Amino acid sequence: MLSARNLFKSFATSEGPLQVLRGVSVDVAAGESVALTGESGSGKSTLLHLLGCLDTPESGTITLQGAPLHDLDEAGRAAIRRRHVSVIFQQLNLIPSLTVAQNLAFQARLAGVLDPEWQDEIAARLGLDTLLDRYPEQLSGGQQQRVAIGRSLAIRPELVLADEPTGNLDETTADNVMDLLLDGVGRSRSALLMVTHSPRLAARLNRVLHLREGRLT
Amino acid sequence: MTVKALWATLWICFASAAGAQGFAGLGTDIDGFALPDPDTELTFPADHDAHPGFRIEWWYLTANLRGADGQDYGVQWTLFRSALSPGTDLPGDGDGWQTPQIWMGHAAVTSAGEHRFAQRLARGGIGQAGVTPDPFEAHIDDWVMRSTATQGDPLDALKLRARGQDFAYDLDLRAEGPLVLQGDRGYSVKSPTGEASHYYSQPFYQVSGTLTLPGGDVAVTGQAWLDREWSSQPLAQDQEGWDWLSLHFDDGAKLMGFGLRSSSGAHFTSATWISAAGEVTAYGDGALTLDPLETASVAGREVPVRWRVTLPDQGLRIDTAPLNPQAWMGTLFPYWEGPVRFDGSHSGQGYLEMTGYE
Amino acid sequence: MNRAAFQALWSHWRRHPVQLATLVLGLALATALWSGVQAINAEARNSYDRAAALMGQDSLDRLEAPGGVTPAQYVALRRAGWDVSPVVEGRLATGLGIVGVDPLTAPPQPALSALAGDTDALSGFLGTGFLLVAPETAAQVAQDGLPPFRISPDVPAGTALGDIGLALRLLGTDRLSHLLIAAEQPMGLPPLSDVTDLRRVTPEDTSSLAQLTDSFHLNLTAFGLLSFAVGLFIVQSAIGLAFEQRRGAFRTLRALGISLNRLMGLLALELGAIALIAGLAGIALGYGIAAALLPGVAGTLRGLYGAQVSGTLGFDPLWAASALGIALLGAAVAGAQALWRVAQMPLLAPAQPRAWAMASGRAIRVQAMAALGLLAVAAVLAIWGGSLLAGFACLGALLIGSALALPVVLLWLLRGGARLARGAMGEWLVADARQQVPALSLALMALLLALAANVGVGTMVGSFRGTFVGWLDQRLASELYVTARTEAEAAAVRDWLAPRSDAVLPIWSVAITLRGAPAQVYGVADHPTYRDNWPLLSADPAAWDRLATGDGVLVNEQMARRDGLDLGDTLTLAEGWAPPVVGIYSDYGNPQAQLIAGTGPLAARYPDQPRLRYAVRADPSRVPALIDDLRQRFDLPRDALRDQAEVKALSLRIFDQTFLVTGALNVLTLGVAGFAMLTSLLTLSSLRLPQVAPVWALGVTPGTIALAELARTALLALLTWALAVPVGLALAWVLLAVVNVQAFGWRLPMMVFPGGWLWLGLWALLAALLASAWPVWRLMSMPGGQLLRVFANDR
């Protein structure tokens, strides 16, 4: 479904360019869940950003359902983000000025694929029914991440990209959130690529990739 | 301040000494004013009136009085006239507000303990100040010197009034002798270079009247002396000021004497001896001597308040003493003017005037 | 250690030069507007004091009579011993004020100091005569073909001081205006009432001019204060931003062992240094503003009150020092909150700045109550307050109440608007706008005040102008106005015109003193020109008939209001002539009392007044020819002939000049409000990343986000404008119906100019868009990584 070939990416730093990705190739099949692990600075987030159309590779190709993503312009990439690929960050996923209900529906409405029944189901499954009128800053970290999961699933994306979604949470909460995420992607039949440095969490997914010094090992 | 400055420059003959330059204006050019003429015959009552063709003129009366309270008093009543330009021929009209004639009155009442004075300024032309010959009246505001004579010379009998913030007086004067022409038939020379004035006096007044003082009215009697003088250039350029005396001797004789101080050192003196009958002997430069005996600190300056006066020709050698050494006229042009007593070869009372002390 | 720590703190400004510039510029602007207005006020007050002190008019009692004092009356008083001094005051046709004094009897005064110690000057002043004038009046005197003049800076502007003889001649009168009574009088004088019939008048405590113009200066001060407050908004937001951004640095410094007190001290020192620089810039700027505005202010004061104010500005070190003080004080006020927050910051507080805060319901309720209370106070004062002070208090309460109400109303409106919003983006836009209200409220309040002031003052000036134009049309009924140079010429002109026109109506006036103030009595002929056109506010039905017979007089509204005159009250216009008031007419823009009497009856009492001016009724199409003929035949100078259109144009020009300053201050205030908006938005923009980043991540292009940002600012600005219009109208009403009546003595009908509001709305929109363009551009032109970094915890 998602296929990336030979991705290169570097960042400018004060000591010259820093080569983060050095020819990474990765494939994710539909409905599959993949863990992406590696040490700090190994390029996990960068790879995730490239696959999520949040950033562009210097070279290499990315295709989704056979359609190339790597040469899309800003508007094209925005359209992919809006409709096909959801991203869950470690924090600050939500729009502070909108309520939980508005946040949950925001992406789906932007994409024009709002499905009220599906929306209700997500809220119920994630246990957000009673929090719908609250604002993000009134929620705990775990609650915020549950809303972020719900929002990302609302468009039934082909692929959910998650960047340490439980990184800020304690273990119990993290497990709970993880359960809900896996349950959710299952129900929406979305594939999942999740960055984590927790072997325990990685083990719960179908497959584990390890990134080291910009290369998959 | 401004008016003061104005007068200090306009009324130059009384101004403080201005160094070698002399009193600004008077020592310089004449601007078309009439000059005193030795051949002029003074005629009365016509010459009691103002002489607007001359630059300056005054009606100057001083009185030595004794109060019912037993105290001695001095009284001064002076009206000065100063012309900005000769006559009344200003552009437009010399009459009314735009007259060139400026008038100034000084009045004072001096006792041993207190010297009270006042000043008035006015322009001619509107009736605020001036002199009328018939009936004779000299006035500025409500200060008057008015003839009350029913016969004879208008100056034979006078009503005299003035007031300030802390005094007023109302005096009746009666002359017991004739008018006296000073110098050469009223032509009085003021310097070796010939500057002169027209000058006559009435030194024979007997006075009675009332002084109104903050403490109440005081009835007074005594003697008075009137000077009339007009000129356009009375001082030489290097003359700094003068010391002037009018003395009543106990025996009825009178003496007018003055010394003009020169910055070049040579003082010019002049005197007129007037017998009790009114016979006049005029003395030119040098006959009279005036020597300061003692100075006093007056208004922040040293002023000689006691004098030795000699006139050997009359056997006169007297020392004067002021009734009040602080008889300072703090007017626009400040000067010392006050009653004196004297003794020595003669005794009596009189008035001393000193100008030009910085 | 201090040095190193200070360098660490200061490095922030090196990296954010725009922030520093904003801070300095904001403080400099605030200082400049405030101190500029102060400088103008001080200069004007100086002029009043000079005018009042001239001839001891501010302190000495005076003697006066209707129709003036005769020289005989003066001399009679002097000869009774009273120390009085004559003064004549008047105005030449050219507008030059003439004051004549008698330096021989006048009380001491600085205005004559130019004569001190100069023999020629003194004798010249008394003799052939010259005038003393202020430097700025010199050109006027030179042009007028008057006697020679000399400069005396102590003479009030617009006035020439001369010897009384000269002044009487110039003014063509033999009457003295009044006699000043010296404070110290000789002893034993007869009572004044035994000596004279003249009436003794004690001057008001302070200069009447200063009182009259107080309202104007209060107005200016209010504008200055408004600008200062708006400027402080800028400073506050700049300081707030700088402190927020340096939270990390503060934490590090404290962790490195800098005590809280030392840190606070360093920050205060830094703020003080910035304030000093800004203050100096503000002084320069303020002086520039004052110097630029002063001629306009002088024009206003001359137009409204007849007050002569010097058009040139002096530099007063004391003023500069106080301006510097105001800058430091302003910085302290604006920085206090930020410093307090640093003091409260726990050592281990998260260094993450809080971008925004939800306005708590409680705070909003308190603010709403305060706003309502103030608006209620304003209403009470508007209805029941009877003084100028109450009028200004009402204005203050209205403006502050409205400003406080603004965020409350905006939140309320946006909550309602959220329901109307369509689509996810629309919803987000409105929701985000609501959340920006607390952070932007100060800037929006500033905008509201500036807009309301604009609407209010604009409505007032517009109403005034509209009324004035209508009134001019009525009052300038004659087609041509002729001024002759001499009585003989006037007679010749009249005779020549009589067969060639419909009517030749004399215009002439007598200056008298009425109820202790100067007044001008105009003689008008009994002619339909006046009957049909002269706008009377209230009148006896037979007013014009009674005028013609001498059994009546008209007074202007100013005099009627000031002296509480009503129809039927009698006024003594001359000895033995006390006609009743038979009508009150509007007389806009005239500071003085003015009366109209029948020309016959007036001429009978004042036979010597020259009659040189005529109003000519003629067919308008013939007027140009008449002017040419008159000019050729009588060799009249250019300004001796004026047609109606010219007079109208001149009047309107004077009118517009009068309100030039108001316009300038309006623009300045709006500009400052726009700048406040810019700085607030700049402050917000760097804190808005966390709010914008998720939206971007969810698939909204930066372009769309930028548009949304602009739209949001526009929305807030437009809502603020919509609220400012009613506030401005309320302001205008208070100005016209309360302040104007108290300050000027006339009431004006209120006219509204909706077109102007629309323009203002466009300006507000433009200002808001300009203010937000840069912050949005900055936000959007960030490299994508910048947005991404919000989320990043790893690469």
Lowest mean pLDDT among C58-67, C69-78, C117-126: C117-126
- pLDDT recorded at residue B192: 79
Please tell me which residue of chain C has the smallest CA distance to B120: C105
**How many residue pairs from chains B and C have C-beta atoms closer than 8 A?**
110
Q: Note the pLDDT of residue C572.
A: 85
* pLDDT one-digit tens code per residue, C427-454: 888 888 888 887 788 778 878 888 888 8
Number of alpha helices (DSSP H) and beta strands (DSSP E) in chain A: 7, 10
Final residue before a domain boundary, out of C174, C202, C230: C202
Mutate to test the interface with C, among B88, B101, B141 (most CBs of C within 10 A): B141
pLDDT digits (tens, 9 = 90+) for B111-123: 999 999 999 989 8
Provide the shortest C-alpha distance from residue A42 to chain C (in Å). 7
Using beta carbons and an 8 Å cutoff, which residues of C are at the interface with B?
A: 71-72, 74-75, 78-81, 102-106, 108-109, 112-113, 115-119, 122-123, 125-129, 163-166, 168-169, 184-189
Chain centroid to Cα C776, Å, comes to 38
* pLDDT higher than 90, residue B288: yes
Would you say residue B298 has pLDDT above 80? yes
- Residue A118 is assigned to a structural domain of this protein: yes
Residue C425 and residue A151: Cα distance in Å, rounded?
15
Residues of the domain holding A139:
30-57+78-207
- Compare all CA atoms of chain A with the CA of C784 and give the residue at the minimum distance: A55
Using CB atoms, which chains have 3+ pairs under 8 A with B? C
How many structural domains comprise chain C? 4
ipTM of the complex: 0.90
pLDDT reading at C253 higher than 50: yes
Q: How far is C148 from chain B (nearest CA, A)?
A: 15
User: With bands split at pLDDT 50, 70 and 90, how would you rate the model's confidence at B6?
Assistant: very low
Q: Where is average pLDDT lowest: B15-24, B49-58, C501-510?
A: B15-24
Name every chain B residue with its beta carbon within 8 A of the beta carbon of C116: 1-2, 5-6
C458 & C581 share domain: no
- The answer to whether residues C346 and C361 belong to one domain is no
Cβ distance of C78 and B102 shorter than 8 Å = no
If asked whether residues C697 and C752 sit together in one domain, one would say: yes
Residue with tokens 């490299």: C783
Q: Are residues C88 and C152 in the same domain?
A: yes
Same domain, C609 and C663: no
Min Cα distance C421 → chain A (Å) is: 13
Residue type, B238: D
Residues C194-211: b if buried by 16+ CB within 10 A, e if exposed: ebbebbebebeeebbbbe
Give me the pLDDT at residue C698, please.
86
* Both tokens assigned to A190: 């979305």
Q: Do B139 and C79 touch (CB under 8 A)?
A: yes
Residue A217 resides in a domain: no
B317 close to B345: Cβ distance less than 8 angstroms: yes
CB C394 within 8 A of CB C382: yes
- Residue A197 in any domain: the answer is yes
Q: Rounded to the nearest 10 degrees, how much is the dihedral formed by the CA atoms of C304, C310, C316, C318?
A: -30
**Residue B23 scores a pLDDT above 60:** no
C376 and C465 in a common domain: yes
Q: Cβ of B306 under 8 Å from any chain C Cβ? A: no
Q: What is the pLDDT of residues C99-115, one digit of tens each?
A: 898 888 887 666 676 66
Domains, chain B, ranges and CATH?
52-354 (2.40.370.10)
Tell me the residues of chain B between 321 and 340 that have a Cβ less than 8 Å away from chain C: none
Among C105, C115, C187, the residue with its CB nearest the CB of B165 is C187
Q: Which of C425, C427, C795 sits opposite A41 (nearest CB)?
A: C795
* Domain-ending residue, one of C353, C378, C396: C353
Residue C722 and residue C611 share a domain? no
Of C327, C353, C379, the domain-final residue: C353
Shortest distance between the Cα of C782 and any Cα of chain A, in A, equals 13
Of A90, A97, A106, the CB nearest to C793: A90
CB contact under 8 A, C188 and B121: no
C128 and B90 within 8 Å at the Cβ level: the answer is: yes
- Collapsed DSSP state (helix, strand, coil) of residue B164: coil
Examine the pLDDT at B280 and tell me if it is beyond 80.
Answer: yes
Q: Token digits for B340?
A: 């004196």
Let me know whether C191 and C225 are in one domain: no
Range with top average pLDDT, B89-98, B204-213, C685-694, C697-706:
B204-213
Give contacts of C 352-371 with A, CB under 8 A. Answer: 355-356, 358
Q: Which residue of C has its CA nearest to A11?
A: C785
Smallest CA–CA separation between C12 and chain A, in Å?
19
Question: In this complex, do C425 and A87 lie within 8 Å of one another by their Cβ atoms?
Answer: no
The two three-digit tokens of residue B204, written as one number: 């024979």
**C584 within domain boundaries:** yes
Q: Which residues between 30 and 69 in chain C have a beta carbon less than 8 angstroms from any beta carbon of chain A?
A: none
Using CA atoms, how far apart are residues C239 and C232, in angstroms rounded to an integer? Answer: 10
User: Does C795 map to a domain?
Assistant: no
The pLDDT confidence band at residue B21, using thresholds 50, 70 and 90, is very low
CATH number at residue A42: 3.40.50.300
Q: Which of A45-54, C315-324, C638-647 has the highest average model confidence (pLDDT)?
A: A45-54
DSSP C28-76: HHHHHHHHHHHHHHHHHHHHHHHHHHGGGTTT--EEE-TT-B-HHHHHH
Interstrand relation of C149-151 and C131-133 (parallel, antiparallel or unpaired):
parallel
What per-residue confidence (pLDDT) applies to C357? 47
- Mean pLDDT (chain B) is 85
| Tens of pLDDT, residues A65-90 | 888 888 888 888 888 888 899 888 88
Instruction: Determine the pLDDT at residue C358.
Output: 46
The confidence score (pLDDT) of residue C591 equals 60
Of residues B35 and B154, which shows the higher confidence score? B154
The residue in chain B having the minimum alpha-carbon distance to the alpha carbon of residue C78 is B141
CB contact under 8 Å between C690 and A90, yes or no, is: no
- State whether C424 and A105 contact (CB < 8 Å): yes
Domain membership flag for residue A47: yes
Q: Work out the pLDDT band at B89, boundaries 50, 70, 90.
A: very low
Q: Which of B130-139, B145-154, C50-59, C359-368 has the lowest mean pLDDT?
A: C50-59
Alpha-carbon span C458 to C756, nearest angstrom: 8
Buried b / exposed e along C503-512 (16+ C-beta atoms within 10 A)? bbbbbbbbbb
Q: Do both C759 and C649 map to the same domain?
A: yes
- The number of distinct structural domains making up chain A is 1
- Could you tell me which residues come within 8 angstroms of residue C357 by beta carbon, excluding any fewer than 6 positions away? C438, C439
One domain for residues C223 and C332: yes
Q: How many whole angstroms separate alpha carbon C126 and alpha carbon C104? A: 9
**Per-residue pLDDT at B338 exceeds 90:** yes
Nearest CA in chain C to A96: C691
pLDDT on residue B198 = 92
What local confidence, expressed as pLDDT, does residue C522 receive?
Answer: 84
Name the residue among C400, C529, C520, C523 with its Cα closest to residue C474: C529
Instruction: Give the lowest-confidence range in B68-77, B201-210, C687-696.
Output: C687-696
Q: What is the pLDDT, as a whole number, of residue A217?
A: 77
Give the residue numbers spanning the domain of C698: 357-474+645-782
C384 with C470, same domain? yes
The reply to whether C314 and C372 lie within a common domain is: no
- Is residue C207 pLDDT above 50, yes or no? no
Rounded average pLDDT over B271-282: 93
Compute the average pLDDT of residues B18-28. 34
DSSP three-state, residue C665: helix
| Residue range C716-740: mean pLDDT, rounded | 87
- Report the Cα B3 to chain-centroid distance in Å: 22
Give the Cβ contact number of residue B157 at 10 Å.
18
Contact (Cβ atoms closer than 8 angstroms) between residue C76 and residue B128: no
Q: Which of C435, C699, C788 sits opposite A97 (nearest CB)?
A: C435
Per the CB < 8 Å rule, is C104 touching B121? yes
- Give residue C58's pLDDT: 60
Kindly identify which residue of chain B lies nearest to residue C75, measuring between CA atoms: B128
Residues C651-704: pLDDT tens digits?
Answer: 677 667 656 666 776 777 777 777 777 777 776 776 777 788 888 888 888 888
Instruction: Identify the top-confidence range among B307-316, C248-257, C491-500, C543-552.
Output: B307-316
Nearest to C701 among A46, A78, A83 (CB): A78
Residue matched to tokens 């002296």: C563
Is residue A155 assigned to a domain? Answer: yes
DSSP element (H, E) containing B170: strand B168-175
CB–CB of C122 and B126 under 8 A? no
CB–CB of A190/A31 below 8 Å? yes
Residue A179 has pLDDT above 90, yes or no: no
The better pLDDT of the pair C454, A8 is held by A8
CB contact under 8 A, A55 and C356: no
Per-residue pLDDT, B59: 95
| Interchain contact C693–A (C-beta under 8 A) | yes
Task: Give the range among B133-142, C219-228, C254-263, C342-351 with minimum mean pLDDT.
Answer: C342-351
